Amino acid sequence: MNIENLKRVISQMQLSGLGAPFLVLLMLVMMVLPIPTFGLDLLFTFNIALSLIVLLVTVYTRRPLEFSSFPTVLLVATMLRLSLNIASTRIVLLEGHTGTASAGQVIESFGNFVIGGNYAVGFVVFSILVIINFVVVTKGAGRVSEVSARFVLDAMPGKQMAIDADLNAGILSQEEARKRREDIGREADFYGSMDGASKFVKGDAIAGLLVLFINILGGLAVGVGQHDLSFSEAATNYTLLTIGDGLVAQIPSLLLSMGTAVIVTRVSAEEDMGKEISIQLFKDQRALIITAVLIGMLGLVPGMPNLVFLTLGGGLGFYAWYARKAADKVPEVEAEAEVAPEKRAELSWDDVKTTDILSLEVGFGLIPLVDARQGGKLPDRIKAVRRKLTEDLGFLIHAVHMKDNLDLPPTRYRISILGVTEGEAEIYPDRELAIGTGVEGGSLQGMVTKDPAYGMDAIWINLDQRDNAQALGYTVVDPGTVIATHMSKLLIQHAGSLLGHQEVQSLLDTLSKSAPRLVEDLVPKLLPLPTVVKVLQNLLDEGIPVKDMRSIAETLAEKGTQSQDADDLTAAVRVALRRQITGQLTSFEDTLPVITLDAELEKLCLSSVEAENGGGLGIEPGLAERLYQSLADSTHRQEMNGEPAVLLVSPKLRSWLAGMVRHTIPLLKVLAYNEIAETKRLKVIANIGGGSAA
């Protein structure tokens, strides 16, 4: 039981991240308290092992960000080595007079075995290590870190814009874009930290050199002045111990410097560094063959080490022959590998592709319009359309997935909503569209067409005719604006289809932050979520935004106790939003022009609705045709006068008449008597079935 508890405690310590604080505490202990020689040997060995681990991790790391903690590790390792220098210096100066074994076996081994017991040789070897570390590796790594940090910071805005463009184009999801932004931020933090961390390595190399001279001078002073050693004996003992101590510290320092240089010079790749270098260095057999020939020729020169040169040349030639033979077999193996999976592959749910909510497909001739790298502005315009509609309609418009479609003609585009094609047209990227306004003062040369969004007469003109077209009264737009306008119109028309359960739940979650009790009592206690979704879809289908979610929710909460029918609830919400509805039509005007039905005609329509029991208007076809025509004529007159076309009817008739004219006369708005704001005065401009009224 005690063993299990011990395991549990150790596991909790590991999970809670006590390793780093323990290491910091250990460094403080080494600086202040004396360390026994066995502990010193153990810590020196651990320091060498840690440096090797760090170097190998940098070699096998595929991307620098995979070892993002390297600057911190470098700092801790540097401080550990300096702490060991302090601890070893204390022992060398206190016990160095007793002999070269006084500071532990590791220092003695490096002082005797590595440099042969000759402190002159040791001093030269130590100096070479310091020069390599300080002048070559550390200086180069510091410069690379500084330049990399500068380049990464300069490239951040461009990378962020590229992510936004891919997000707007539908190439990336919100989660993928967020992850990429985090990676960019981490990359900037990493290279900025590495720029500072390289200074640790540089300072460590300088400190090692200074510690060497201080220890030698201090050892001579202590040995001669305090322990009555001869100068030669003191020089032998303290110099060998100091140089051995310096070598034990410099080797891990050189390893960490190499690790720093490796990680800052890495280029992101899918392979580890060893595999990447072998592929890039030996992939071209011509370099190997020429090298083998030159080395072999040198081996034939009299006086040269013939055996060594000929052996190396023959080995390179054999490897070049073997690599070429292996490369010739690769295509066959790859071909077999491509065929085999098709035979073994089984269908899975991963093969079922989800339908894009919004998509824009373009022919290859229109790719420059959607490719930000080629200067395409369409993604930014689509994003602006989405932002505007999101503000106007009151819910988030989904991202548009933009892609090329080689099945389309080169200059044709297609707009799909929920996988269904809703709009398709042909545009010319090297021209502009001049749209007629009805008051043009002349004609233009170009290709006659129709505006894709509203079907107005238009002409595709050359770019040099733009000023002339505007002078004649045409509205001139570029191809990107044509697509964006078409997209905007379709999104408004199908706004109800774009609002689903998830979007409504998001609206309710947002409302719950300011009115939590209202949302809690409404869904699902009073009304199920699908009913709320249907009500909001009905509003959007008739051009009413759902921005005022508080009023909508309060009305549903009030009327939900009386009816669960979505159409009845929609009518109640429309009454609650009457100021918003009439405000959309007349803005700040006090007078609202309306079209009414003759009393007899309205009574006939009401009787028909009641007789059909909610099935629609069952009136005579000839009468229905005349009604349509009269409404269309009145709507056209209002349009020409620049005023809204509003049909005012009984609440029982409103939904049926609105459904009848929604697609045939889209500019006509059908309102019930109780949907008119109290502040608006009505002005009857036409009475259908009873003549016109001023």
- pLDDT tens track for 553-579: 999 999 999 999 999 999 999 999 999
Distance CA 171, CA 383 (A): 14
Distance CA 341, CA 523 (A): 50
Bridge partners, 681 (sequence order): 591
Residues of the chain with pLDDT > 70: what percent? 77
- Helix H segments across 376-515? 378-393, 466-471, 479-493, 495-498, 501-514
Distance CA 478, CA 619 (A): 47
376 against 336, higher pLDDT: 376
Q: What's the pLDDT at 590?
A: 85
- Helix H segments across 560-618? 566-576, 578-586, 599-611
3-state helix, strand, coil in the chain (%, to 5): 70, 10, 25
CA 349, distance to chain mean position in Å, is 26
Residue 242: pLDDT band (50, 70, 90) is: confident
- pLDDT tens track for 265-299: 765 545 556 666 666 666 667 777 888 788 888 77
Calculate the average pLDDT of the chain: 80
For the chain, the domains span 36-275, 284-336, 358-493, 499-576, 587-694
In words, the CATH class of domain 587-694 is: alpha beta
Nearest residue to 414 (alpha-carbon basis) of 363, 379, 458: 363
Q: What's the pLDDT at 238?
A: 72
- On the question of pLDDT at 496 being above 50, the answer is yes
Q: What's the pLDDT at 330?
A: 46
343 against 385, higher pLDDT: 385
Residue 432 burial by CB count (10 A; 0-12/13-18/19+): exposed, middle or buried? buried
- On the question of pLDDT at 112 being above 70, the answer is no
Distance CA 37, CA 33 (A): 13
Q: List, as one string, the DSSP characters of 490-511.
A: HHHHTHHHH--HHHHHHHHHHH
Q: What's the pLDDT at 671?
A: 95
- On the question of pLDDT at 340 being above 50, the answer is no
Note whether 239 and 219 are within 8 A (CB): yes
- On the question of pLDDT at 16 being above 50, the answer is no
Q: What's the pLDDT at 527?
A: 94
- On the question of pLDDT at 332 being above 60, the answer is no
Residue 507 burial by CB count (10 A; 0-12/13-18/19+): exposed, middle or buried? buried
Predicted structure pTM score: 0.53
Amino acid at 644: P
Distance CA 254, CA 158 (A): 37
| Residues 6+ away with beta carbon under 8 Å from 576 | 551, 552, 554, 555
Third-level CATH fold of 358-493: Glutaredoxin (3.40.30)
Record the tokens describing residue 579, joined without a space.
């100021």
Residue 486: pLDDT band (50, 70, 90) is: very high
DSSP state of 104: -
| Residues 6+ away with beta carbon under 8 Å from 499 | 395, 533, 536, 537, 540, 546
Handedness of CA 46, 52, 53, 54 (dihedral sign): positive
Residue 614: pLDDT band (50, 70, 90) is: low
Least confident of 195-204, 396-405, 558-567, 675-684: 195-204
Q: What's the pLDDT at 478?
A: 93
Residues of the chain with pLDDT > 90: what percent? 31
- On the question of pLDDT at 99 being above 80, the answer is no
- pLDDT tens track for 28-80: 767 767 777 777 778 878 878 888 888 888 877 777 777 777 777 877 787 87
Q: What's the pLDDT at 541?
A: 92
- pLDDT tens track for 506-539: 999 999 999 999 999 999 889 999 999 999 999 9
Calculate mean pLDDT across residues 377-382.
Answer: 91
Calculate mean pLDDT across residues 220-249.
Answer: 73
Q: How many of the other CB atoms lie within 10 Å of CB of 530? A: 11
Nearest residue to 148 (alpha-carbon basis) of 198, 194, 184: 194
Q: How far apart are the first and last CA of the chain?
A: 99
Measured torsion, CA atoms of residues 92, 98, 100, 102, in degrees rounded to the nearest 10? -60
Q: What's the pLDDT at 613?
A: 61
Q: What's the pLDDT at 14?
A: 46
Q: What's the pLDDT at 97?
A: 66
Q: What's the pLDDT at 17?
A: 54
Residue 462: pLDDT band (50, 70, 90) is: very high
CATH code, 499-576: 1.10.8.540
Distance CA 115, CA 248 (A): 12
Calculate mean pLDDT across residues 452-472.
Answer: 91
